[in-house]
Amino acid sequence: MTRLSNHVRSSVGGKVVMALSGLGLVFYVVIHMLGNLQIFEGAPTLNGYAAFLRDMPILLWIVRAGLLSLVVLHIVLAIRLTVRNRRARPVAYAARKYRQASFASRTMAVSGLLLALFILFHLLHLTAGVIDPLAIDRLDVEGHRDVYGKIVRAFQNPFIVVLYVVGQVGLGLHLNHAVTSSLQTLGLEYAAFNHLFKAAGPTVALLVVLGNIVIVLAVFLGIVHG
């Protein structure tokens, strides 16, 4: 136990845990997007899927607790890493390399902050119904929670559309760098796979951002409607 906590406290251990927690969160984001894309199949499919998830309350709360722990761990380690990097600013670092590294970490800090704000807004909006009190869970004709109707109502509002698109920009920028860098941190940087890892970040970022934005715009443009 002490060896494990010492390892996490070390810079390398911290980076490994950050990479693992980040990849766990990416996995959730991809599954969430695939689930939400069922909106194109119509209300019965999406609402049936949401009901299926809610019908397993123990699993739901285990996943929620797991997600929250991953987010907290990831943010705490990110802050610690940033502080340590600042303190250890190397004097004899090659100027160009230093500029690249600090640009990447600044981008990660800004996109990470944007993403955290988006997630907070998103939870208050579509899970807690605080932003739009009329977005509370209604029931559809089959007696399921009308998640489909909630999403349609949300993205008919141009203000909400802009906020979600900005949130996706934060998500895309963060994933673009994070996925590649996590794979490299985990020691998977074998020469043969390096091109694959470099491509993984931009590919995952693009797919997730496009998948999410397609939902938002399809509703806004009336392609998906109530």
* Site residues (vs ligand HEM, CB under 6 A): 29, 32, 36, 50, 64, 67, 119, 122-123, 126-127, 147, 150-151, 164, 171, 212, 215-216
Report in angstroms how near the CB of residue 89 gets to ligand HEM at its nearest: 31
Phi first, then psi: what are they for 219, rounded to 5°? Answer: -70, -45
CB nearer to ligand HEM: give 8 or 165.
165
CB nearer to ligand HEM: give 197 or 220.
220
Q: What are the structure tokens assigned to 54, written together?
A: 């809610």
Report in angstroms how near the CB of residue 179 gets to ligand HEM at its nearest: 14
Q: How many Cβ atoms sit within 10 Å of the Cβ of residue 61?
A: 10
Q: Which residue has the tokens 């959730």?
A: 28
Which residue pairs, CB below 8 angstroms and at least 24 apart, start in 220-225? 220/155, 220/156, 220/158, 220/161, 224/39, 224/40, 224/152, 225/152
Q: What are the structure tokens assigned to 47, written together?
A: 């609402």
Report in angstroms how near the CB of residue 75 gets to ligand HEM at its nearest: 13
CB nearer to ligand HEM: give 186 or 213.
213
CB nearer to ligand HEM: give 5 or 69.
69
CB proximity list for 154: less than 8 A, separation 6 or greater = 125, 126, 132, 135, 160, 219
Report in angstroms how near the CB of residue 16 gets to ligand HEM at its nearest: 22
CA nearest to 167, candidates 220, 221, 116, 104: 116
CB nearer to ligand HEM: give 69 or 100.
69
Q: Which amino acid is at 88?
A: A
Report in angstroms how near the CB of residue 200 gets to ligand HEM at its nearest: 18
**Integer Cα distance of 40 and 33 in angstroms:** 12
CB nearer to ligand HEM: give 148 or 197.
148
Collapsing DSSP to helix, strand or coil, 100 comes out as helix
Report in angstroms how near the CB of residue 162 gets to ligand HEM at its nearest: 13
Q: Closest-CB residue for ligand HEM? A: 212
Q: How many Cβ atoms sit within 10 Å of the Cβ of residue 154?
A: 20
